[in-house]
């Protein structure tokens, strides 16, 4: 058998690249995210500028009209590149209808109807939008505008800058209310970020993301100056305000007063306050996202409905599952099952009445769960146990991998390489806490992104552990081990091999750290004053138990003969591969990257990574078959080895 370290390093690289591909923005639409956003921008541009080109069925500006025709043709052409789906077919139909309406010099209402439906269709197949976490102050945004925009748009944004007379088409007058009513903040942000082809509007790639969002909100609010301030209990979300123009919101969300939309365009601060107040309440997030999913479904925006339903579970309910388990495990399992099953119903073929009933049932169960959680804070003993179990549950898998790597190096007389293992798990702790800090202060890590990361990491770890287990099993016979010693141990391991070992330690630990922090953060919301000693006591007890398990594993494995050690470790690594594979599939199912086909009987054994879906059970069955074949082959080889070793 050749040096396993080289294979390990290569396998780590290969699987890591595969995992990166999984976590990259999906291009199921057939177009990149940037191309989809450009199409949305074109559609919105046509809807906004059509009155400048056509009036009463006559062309009033040939240059503007020609640009409308070119953009419409681009929408039709690129629509043909969309991957086959009901949403793509609808988009292609709207693009052709828009092109025909422009050719026929149709009314503004008809053209804007087609452009609004086009944007909604494109939004439904686009990757989830990363919303701004905060904006610059009004004074800072105004100064940013004065520095970058006055030459064309003028000091107050009326399109009368020093260069305006030389430009065709002329710069936008941001105070024109009709234009602003049909312009979304996302469209303004994309124009600032990417520019607009065929115009003097260039891309401002030198600005930070926060600066571009702040500029978009600033110029997008000029036409609404003077509106009555909005309150923090507005029915609109930040996503609604960003993605849709006031005209679209007026048509699709008639329950929201027009004055509220105008007030939020003038001053969006209440939405950012509202978001901050929700951060510590996962149950409220679950209810809010679920209600938005239902609203999107009613509007026929099935892609957004599924995305919001996924967020209701991953960004909300999942974070209180451990706490609810200590009160009513059956209710927790029921809500989890209902939320995962709801996604499959959010499509054009579902019965709307059944979808309404399903959402109502989940909301009712969420209310029951909220009532249980709010009856009183967790008792001291329940808090201690919950705190202990979180650390044990998340830490045991990582500990077993690190211990296995450590003892393998010791047994193979490569104690000098232990520093690479220690580097891996220490770096994972640092990276895990850094990721959490960034998620709180700088970036947004959605629940779906977290599950994709965890699923990809688990798949990577499962593949590597199975490979290492396979290699170790081949060394359980004494003569095989002696041959390996002669061939490999006395040579220096390559840098790639050693960093591969460090990489496996990093992956095994990092995937647990961030989720552990999130679970403890949620547990804190159920902790009363004076109960922090129980919380920290549970953490300390969990850490102590992990330390005892680690010490026992190292001490016991050190006394085993090399053949028995390799044999026992083989079973441990193959078992870990089995568990991680099941958890990987479950995580990717929760993130909606892998389908969910339930078994006839519902069950779950979380410690073993066994869940009642054909996808997870199928992969784990394949691992069991491969492991059984490996062990059977090893027994046959062991039975014949004495004859081979004589003489």
pLDDT in tens, 521-541: 656 655 665 677 877 888 888
pLDDT given at position 58: 92
Q: Which two tokens stand for residue 458?
A: 């688990």
pLDDT given at position 129: 64
Rounded to whole angstroms, the Cα distance separating 524 from 143 reads 41
Q: Taking residues 8-23, what's their average pLDDT?
A: 38
Lowest mean pLDDT of 122-131, 170-179, 287-296, name the range: 122-131
Between 506 and 111, the more confident residue is 111
pLDDT given at position 471: 52
Burial of 629 (0-12, 13-18, 19+ CB in 10 A): exposed
Q: Is pLDDT at 232 greater than 70 in this prediction?
A: no
pLDDT given at position 474: 52
Q: Where are the domains of the chain?
A: 4-25+378-642, 33-124, 138-373
453 by DSSP, 3-state: which?
Answer: helix
| Matching residue, tokens 């923090």 | 232
Rounded to whole angstroms, the Cα distance separating 224 from 264 reads 9
User: What is the β-pairing status of strands 54-55 and 58-59?
Assistant: antiparallel
Rounded to whole angstroms, the Cα distance separating 606 from 455 reads 15
pLDDT given at position 462: 67
Q: What is the pLDDT of residues 420-460, one digit of tens each?
A: 888 888 888 888 777 767 655 544 455 555 556 656 666 66
Q: Is pLDDT at 617 greater than 70 in this prediction?
A: yes
Check residue 235 and report its DSSP letter. S
Rounded to whole angstroms, the Cα distance separating 316 from 333 reads 15
| Matching residue, tokens 């599952």 | 321
Q: Is pLDDT at 384 greater than 50 in this prediction?
A: yes
| Matching residue, tokens 């003038």 | 266
CA nearest 44: which of 168, 172, 187, 157? 187
Q: What is the pLDDT of residues 467-496, one digit of tens each?
A: 555 555 554 444 454 444 444 444 445 555
Q: Taking residues 543-565, what's their average pLDDT?
A: 70
Q: What is the pLDDT of residues 90-107, one digit of tens each?
A: 999 999 999 999 999 999
In the structure, what pLDDT confidence band is assigned to residue 555 with cuts at 50, 70 and 90? confident
If you average pLDDT over each of 28-32, 44-48, 378-382, which comes out highest?
44-48
pLDDT given at position 244: 85
Q: Is pLDDT at 199 greater than 70 in this prediction?
A: yes
In the structure, what pLDDT confidence band is assigned to residue 154 with cuts at 50, 70 and 90? very high
CA nearest 113: which of 92, 97, 90, 89? 97
* Cis peptide bond prior to 292, omega within 30° of 0: no
pTM over cut 0.85: no
Rounded to whole angstroms, the Cα distance separating 477 from 118 reads 67
CA nearest 416: which of 504, 492, 486, 499? 492
pLDDT given at position 412: 65
pLDDT given at position 514: 66
Q: Is pLDDT at 83 greater than 50 in this prediction?
A: yes
In the structure, what pLDDT confidence band is assigned to residue 374 with cuts at 50, 70 and 90? low
CA nearest 309: which of 322, 292, 321, 331? 292
pLDDT given at position 146: 92
Between 260 and 410, the more confident residue is 260
In the structure, what pLDDT confidence band is assigned to residue 513 with cuts at 50, 70 and 90? confident
pLDDT given at position 478: 42
Q: Which fold has domain 33-124?
A: 1.20.120
Between 235 and 214, the more confident residue is 214
In the structure, what pLDDT confidence band is assigned to residue 5 with cuts at 50, 70 and 90? very low
pLDDT given at position 60: 92
Find all residues with CB under 8 Å of 546, minimum gap 6, and list them: 391, 392, 395, 396, 399
Q: Is pLDDT at 10 greater than 60 in this prediction?
A: no
Q: Is pLDDT at 49 greater than 90 in this prediction?
A: no
Q: Can you say whether residue 543 is alpha, beta or left, with left for phi > 0 and alpha for psi between -120 and 50 degrees?
A: alpha
In the structure, what pLDDT confidence band is assigned to residue 313 with cuts at 50, 70 and 90? confident
pLDDT given at position 305: 85
């Amino acid at each position: 058998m050749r040096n396993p370290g080289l294979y390990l390093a290569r396998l780590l690289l290969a699987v890591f690249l595969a995992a990166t591909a999984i976590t990259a923005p999906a291009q199921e639409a057939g177009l990149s995210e940037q191309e989809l956003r450009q199409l949305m921008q074109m559609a919105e541009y046509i809807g906004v500028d059509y009155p400048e080109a056509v009036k009463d069925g006559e062309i009033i500006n040939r240059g503007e009209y020609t640009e409308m025709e070119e953009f419409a043709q681009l929408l039709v052409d690129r629509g043909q590149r969309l991957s086959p789906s009901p949403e793509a077919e609808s988009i292609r139909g709207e693009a052709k209808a828009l092109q025909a309406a422009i050719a026929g010099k149709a009314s503004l209402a008809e053209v804007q109807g087609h452009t609004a439906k086009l944007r909604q269709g494109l939004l439904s197949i686009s990757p989830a939008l990363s919303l701004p976490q905060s904006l610059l102050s009004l004074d800072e945004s105004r100064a940013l505008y004065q520095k970058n925009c006055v030459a064309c748009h003028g000091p107050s944004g009326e399109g009368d800058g020093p260069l305006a007379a030389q430009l065709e088409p002329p710069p936008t007058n941001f105070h024109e209310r009709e234009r602003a009513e049909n312009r979304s903040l996302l469209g303004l942000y994309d124009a600032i970020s990417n520019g607009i082809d065929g115009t003097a509007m260039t891309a401002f790639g030198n600005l930070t993301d926060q600066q571009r969002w702040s500029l978009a909100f600033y110029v997008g609010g000029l036409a609404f100056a003077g509106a009555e301030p909005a309150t923090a209990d507005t029915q609109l979300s930040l996503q609604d305000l960003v993605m849709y123009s006031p005209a679209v919101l007026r048509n699709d969300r008639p329950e929201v007063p027009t004055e509220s939309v105008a007030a939020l365009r003038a001053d969006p601060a209440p939405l950012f306050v509202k978001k901050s107040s929700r951060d510590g309440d996962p149950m409220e997030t679950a209810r809010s996202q679920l209600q938005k999913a239902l609203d999107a479904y009613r509007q026929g925006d099935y892609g957004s409905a599924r995305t919001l339903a996924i967020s209701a579970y991953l960004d909300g309910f999942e974070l209180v599952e451990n706490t609810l388990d200590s009160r009513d495990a059956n209710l927790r399992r029921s809500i989890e099952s209902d939320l995962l099953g709801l996604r499959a119903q959010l499509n054009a073929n579902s019965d709307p009445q059944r979808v309404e009933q399903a959402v109502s049932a989940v909301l009712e169960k969420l209310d029951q769960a909220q009532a249980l959680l709010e009856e009183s804070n967790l008792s001291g003993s329940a808090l201690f146990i919950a705190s202990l179990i979180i650390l044990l549950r998340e830490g045991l898998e990582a500990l077993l991998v690190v211990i296995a790597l450590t003892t393998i190096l010791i047994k193979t007389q490569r104690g000098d390489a232990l520093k690479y293992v220690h580097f891996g798990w220490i770096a994972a702790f640092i990276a895990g806490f850094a990721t959490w800090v960034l998620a709180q202060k700088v970036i947004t890590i959605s629940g779906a992104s977290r599950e994709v990361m965890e699923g990809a990491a688990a798949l990577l770890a499962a593949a590597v552990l199975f490979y290492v287990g396979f290699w170790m099993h081949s060394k359980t016979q004494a003569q095989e081990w002696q041959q390996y010693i002669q061939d490999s141990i006395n040579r220096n391991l390559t840098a790639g091999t050693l960093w591969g070992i460090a990489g496996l330690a990093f992956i095994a630990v990092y995937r647990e750290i961030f989720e552990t922090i999130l679970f403890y953060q949620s547990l804190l919301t159920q902790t009363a004053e004076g109960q922090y000693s129980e919380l920290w006591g549970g953490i300390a007890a969990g850490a102590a138990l992990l330390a005892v398990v680690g010490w026992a594993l190292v001490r016991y494995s050190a006394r085993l003969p090399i053949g028995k050690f390799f044999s026992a470790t083989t079973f441990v690594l193959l078992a870990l591969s089995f568990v991680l594979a099941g958890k990987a599939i479950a995580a990717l199912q929760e993130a909606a990257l892998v389908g969910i086909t339930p078994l006839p009987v519902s069950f779950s054994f979380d410690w073993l990574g066994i869940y009642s879906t054909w996808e997870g059970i199928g992969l784990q069955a394949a691992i069991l078959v491969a492991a059984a074949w490996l062990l059977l082959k090893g027994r046959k080889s062991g039975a014949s080895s004495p004859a081979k070793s004589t003489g």
